[in-house]
Amino acid sequence: MKSPLLSLPGAVPAEGVDEGVAAHYGELFREQRALADGTGFVDLSHRGVLTVTGADRLSWLHLLLTQHVSELPAGQATEALILSANGHIEHALYLVDDGETVWAHVEPGTREALLAYLESMKFFYRVEVADRTGEFAVVHLPAGSIAPVPEGVVVRETAHGRDLFLPRADLESYAAAQGPAAGLLAYEALRVEAHRPRLGFETDHRTIPHELGWLDTAVHLQKGCYRGQETVARVQNLGKPPRRLVFLHLDGSEVHLPVAGTPLHLASEGAEGRKLGFVTTAVRHHELGPIALGLIKRNVPLDAELVAGDIAAAQEVVVEP
């Protein structure tokens, strides 16, 4: 779904899964600094929006999600995962309940499969699931923003900022009143700086929550059964995940960034050495320079010097080995 904000001056379209919104509006670092200072907003209208209504909405979602939501207070934001039977991450949901409806935004390209799964699990529960992407657009206000929220708009507030479920028809008028807009590259740079994983970027077909630090924010370890819980409990109680998320400081003298999937090797062995992992997201940060997130084997020493392709990469621990 193409955003009308791509008509703003300087807008450069994002590519790949983020197609449909602006990567930037011509001044990447200015846009980053604005977000870091708590000003501006980010157009996330390419993300899917789902709602769940009905008397059983919270107790029903509690059975399906990794998060404890059966008693979720109205207005309290949370995030949750849906796992496969083997404990691999399939979906990530960013949730808030307004007292009558659970609102969730999800990664672009995932809502149809998620909606189909939720519909298949309704059984006798008093719930209705709806795809509201055509009616509502997600807009992100950065942490510290004092921008007013239009009356009646559902807000999901976290330490990283506020996500607004804005009527899609109001997107252009909101941008005119609350600009300047910041592009997705600025948003992603702050996400990487904060070590926050993203489905489809830091995950592959075999990722489990422990590898990414999602146990801290999206998984409740004391709740009842859900699909994949056995794997979560077994790894948490009896073992260690095979991989761990790392934050990488990249050599700033290089003009290019490593693309997602670039192999990580020991610097002493070079590109011909053993593959220890791979880059998941690489960005240019307005203060830190080129940085990245990556997944590496758990037993890689914490002080090991790495290379991402041909770019030196110093690791910083995100998930303890």
DSSP SS3 for 191: helix
Please list the residue range(s) of the chain that carry CATH number 3.30.70.1400: 48-131
Question: What pLDDT was estimated at residue 266?
Answer: 96
Task: Give the model's confidence band at 270: pLDDT under 50 very low, under 70 low, under 90 confident, else very high.
Answer: confident
| pLDDT at residue 232 greater than cutoff 90 | yes
Residues 20-69: tens digit of each pLDDT: 999 999 999 999 999 999 999 999 999 999 999 999 999 999 999 999 99
Average pLDDT over residues 276-294: 97
Q: Summarize pLDDT for 145-155 with one digit per residue, the tens.
A: 999 999 999 99
- CATH fold, domain 48-131, is Alpha-Beta Plaits (3.30.70)
Percent of the chain residues topping a pLDDT of 90? 94
CA–CA separation, 227 vs 84, rounded Å? 6
CATH 3.40.920.10 correct for 242-320: no
Average of per-residue pLDDT values in the chain: 96
Q: Which residue has the tokens 């607004």?
A: 164
- What DSSP designation does 17 have? G
pLDDT at 1 over 90: no
Confidence of residue 127 (pLDDT cuts 50, 70, 90): very high
Give the number of residues written for the chain: 321
When pLDDT is averaged across residues 9-28 and rounded to a whole number, the result is 97
C-alpha 84/C-alpha 13 separation (Å) is 33
> How are beta strands 89-97 and 101-106 bridged, if at all?
antiparallel
Distance of CA 293 to the CA centre of its chain: 13
Share of the chain above pLDDT 70, in %: 100
Q: Which two tokens stand for residue 4?
A: 């009308």
- What is the average pLDDT across 172-201? 96
Q: Where in the chain is the domain with CATH 2.40.30.110?
A: 242-320
- pLDDT level of residue 173 (50, 70, 90 thresholds): very high
CA distance 260 to 279: 5
pLDDT number for residue 271: 79
* 170-195 CB burial, b ≥16 within 10 A, e <16: bbeebbeebebbbbbbbbbbbbbbeb
Contact predicate 166/136, CB 8 Å: yes
The confidence score (pLDDT) of residue 254 equals 78
